[in-house]
Amino acid sequence: MDVTQVIVEAQLAAAAATQRFLAQHGDADACGFASVKANVKGNTKIGRALLKEGFRKAYGGGLEWWNPSKSYTQAITAKEVGAEAAAKVLRERLGIDAYVWSRLD
């Protein structure tokens, strides 16, 4: 499996989900941040591949991919929707424990 291709697929899914949400609901929402966290150690084969693709070590363990949709909106719900779309692709294609982490600004 090509991790780079899976990350591209996840980013595209995140961007599309975020744009659909914004088109339907606008960005009048609380300001915040969202990322994908993966329960993967950085010294494993998959961990090294994810780090190479832009993941970083997460506070509390695992790896984190900040704002996978690359959206400039500040609407936390839109970013969460995008992060969930990316996490779903990672779970399905890589078989890893990936989930959304978010916080208000």
pLDDT, tens digit, 9 for 90 and up, residues 68-99: 999 999 999 999 999 999 999 999 999 999 99
27-to-47, 51, 71 alpha-carbon distances in Å: 34, 31, 11
Classify 34 as helix, strand or coil: strand
Classify 78 as helix, strand or coil: helix
pTM: 0.95
Chain-wide mean pLDDT for the chain? 96
How many Cβ atoms sit within 10 Å of the Cβ of residue 64? 17
Span 29-44, pLDDT tens digits: 999 999 999 999 999 9
High-pLDDT (> 90) share of the chain, %: 95
Q: What is the pLDDT of residue 31?
A: 96
How many Cβ atoms sit within 10 Å of the Cβ of residue 96? 19
State the average pLDDT over residues 11-36.
96
